[in-house]
Amino acid sequence: MDMIANIDRLLLELDERSLTRRRRAVDTPCAPRLEVEGRPLLAFCSNDYLGLASHPAVVAALREGAALYGAGSGASHLISGHGRAHTQLEDRLAEFESPHLDNARAITFSTGYMANLAILTALGADAGAEIFSEQLNHASLIDGARLARAQVKVYPHAGVAELAALLAASTAPTKIVVTDSVFSMDGDLAPLPALLALCERHNAWLVVDDAHGFGTLGANGRGALEHFDLRSPNLVYMGTLGKAAGVAGAFVAAHASVIELMIQRARPYIYTTAAPPALAHALLTSLDIISGAEGAARRAHLASLVGRFRAGLRLERWQHPPSSTAIQPIIIGANDEALRAGAGLYGQGLWVPAIRPPTVPADTARLRVTLSAAHTHEDVAQLAAALNQLERT
Ligand SMILES: *Cc1c(COP(=O)(O)O)cnc(C)c1O
């Protein structure tokens, strides 16, 4: 079988470059302390930034949602899969983000990946549309731009001046600037106020992928737009619901006309089965927590953990670039050294993923530490000490 032999050769090549990825099956709920094949581990891997994935109230709401609405939606949103819980969640999300948008409306998706495909294909399908994409954008935005078949111009990381020049030179009738708010492998923030000012000057959309900011940024957890105190009709906001919100899915919030366009035109919305309404029901409880006093307390604890972790690091060769968010990369460089470091931690019962190209640029393989409000100060002190020691061996 030549075809299988070809695939096996490709897989062997990946292995030789230390690029093979392996999965580990977790036996317990998502939490800092979990079990893999009977082995207890302290994990710094998940994007469950507020510790809501196994929060008793969210789990109870999911159970209640299943009792109310069953297991599955049975159809796409435009056929019969759009449930009461979906509309309740959309309304709550639109209201939550309304301080930052004009005439806000929201629409929910099964995943953030699909939401990004939907935004860029719905807005970018116009003839002559141009998409201006930040260099470190998430893969789903890159794929969305490709699927839209629009012209794509990539601007450098945080390159406001470069973007300004590109926008000034563009004669496209539809201009779309798209960026992560919190960069998923670096933890730094995009300069959103400067980007928005440019977009308003040049009549461009600013699509903000707030996968890592929704729930964690802003006094009320509204995310990056609240953090930077932004409001504009040019904004199209995407937040995910499987990270800080602890369940699954995503939403887009924008001017009602943008949302209506997505319902009418976005194929990643139209041609897929709606997420189970029970998930939307559970997310109403996540939103209660995020927007209430408990959410504020969890964000404050998370911020103190970030400070504790950074203060505990004494690294000489490995880099830990500035990041005030829950994403704290330790940049090592070579793929094999990053893998060895990850394995060294794992041997001590600490689970931190090693991230290699193509997820990050070549020669910037790293340990991607993510902190959660479910961690303790002792947890992060233990990790910092283990990293300090490991770097010297
Ligand atoms: C996780 C992530 C997504 C995709 O969201 P899912 O709900 O996991 O599909 C999109 N953008 C960024 C920046 C992400 O980190």
Q: What is the pLDDT of residues 325-343, one digit of tens each?
A: 999 999 999 999 999 999 9
Q: Residues 303-316: pLDDT tens digits? A: 999 999 999 999 99
Please report, to the nearest 10 degrees, the dihedral formed by the alpha carbons of residues 144, 148, 153, 158 taken in order. Answer: -30
Measured in angstroms, how far is the CA atom of residue 233 from the centroid of ligand 1? 24
- Taking CA atoms only, the protein residue closest to ligand 1 atom 6 is 112
Instruction: List the binding residues for pyridoxal 5'-phosphate.
Output: 112-113, 184, 212, 240
The answer to whether residues 35 and 119 belong to one domain is no
Q: Would 18 be classed as within a structural domain?
A: no
The answer to whether residues 272 and 168 belong to one domain is yes
SS3 of 354, please?
strand
Cα–Cα distance between 383 and 43 in angstroms, integer? Answer: 10
Task: Say what the pLDDT of residue 393 is.
Answer: 85
The answer to whether residues 342 and 215 belong to one domain is no
- The CATH number of the domain holding residue 335 is 3.90.1150.10
**Residue that is last in its domain, among 291, 315, 342:** 291
The answer to whether residues 273 and 359 belong to one domain is no
H-state helical runs in the chain: 2-16, 56-69, 84-97, 112-124, 139-148, 160-169, 192-201, 224-227, 256-265, 267-270, 277-291, 293-312, 335-347, 377-391
Q: Residues 262-279: pLDDT tens digits? A: 999 999 999 999 999 999
User: 342 near 354, Cβ under 8 Å?
Assistant: yes
Residues with Cβ within 6 A of ligand 1?
111-113, 116, 138, 140, 180, 184, 209, 211-212, 240, 242, 250
Nearest CA to 202 out of 252, 163, 153 is that of 163
Q: Would 8 be classed as within a structural domain?
A: no
The answer to whether residues 209 and 286 belong to one domain is yes
pLDDT band at 74 (very low <50, low <70, confident <90, very high): very high
The answer to whether residues 274 and 363 belong to one domain is no
The answer to whether residues 268 and 385 belong to one domain is no
Counting ligand 1 atoms within 8 A of each CB, the residue from 30, 184, 208, 214 with the most, and so the one to mutate, is 184
Question: Given a cut of 90, is residue 23 above it in pLDDT?
Answer: yes
Token digits for 206?
A: 């600013």
Q: Would 19 be classed as within a structural domain?
A: no
Cα–Cα distance between 217 and 306 in angstroms, integer? Answer: 14
Q: How many domains does the chain have?
A: 2
- The CATH number of the domain holding residue 94 is 3.40.640.10
The answer to whether residues 233 and 309 belong to one domain is no
Question: Given a cut of 90, is residue 1 above it in pLDDT?
Answer: no
The answer to whether residues 313 and 223 belong to one domain is no
The answer to whether residues 169 and 287 belong to one domain is yes
Q: Would 3 be classed as within a structural domain?
A: no
**Residue that is last in its domain, among 272, 291, 310:** 291
Q: Would 9 be classed as within a structural domain?
A: no
**Residue that is last in its domain, among 257, 291, 325:** 291
* pTM for the whole structure: 0.97
Q: Would 240 be classed as within a structural domain?
A: yes
Task: Say what the pLDDT of residue 322 is.
Answer: 95
Instruction: List the binding residues.
Output: 21, 112-113, 138, 184, 212, 240, 359
Find the mean pLDDT for residues 283-297: 98
The answer to whether residues 308 and 164 belong to one domain is no
Find the mean pLDDT for residues 24-40: 96
| Atom number in ligand 1 closest to CA 249 | 7
Task: Say what the pLDDT of residue 127 is.
Answer: 86
The answer to whether residues 43 and 60 belong to one domain is no
Q: Which domain holds residue 276?
A: 56-291
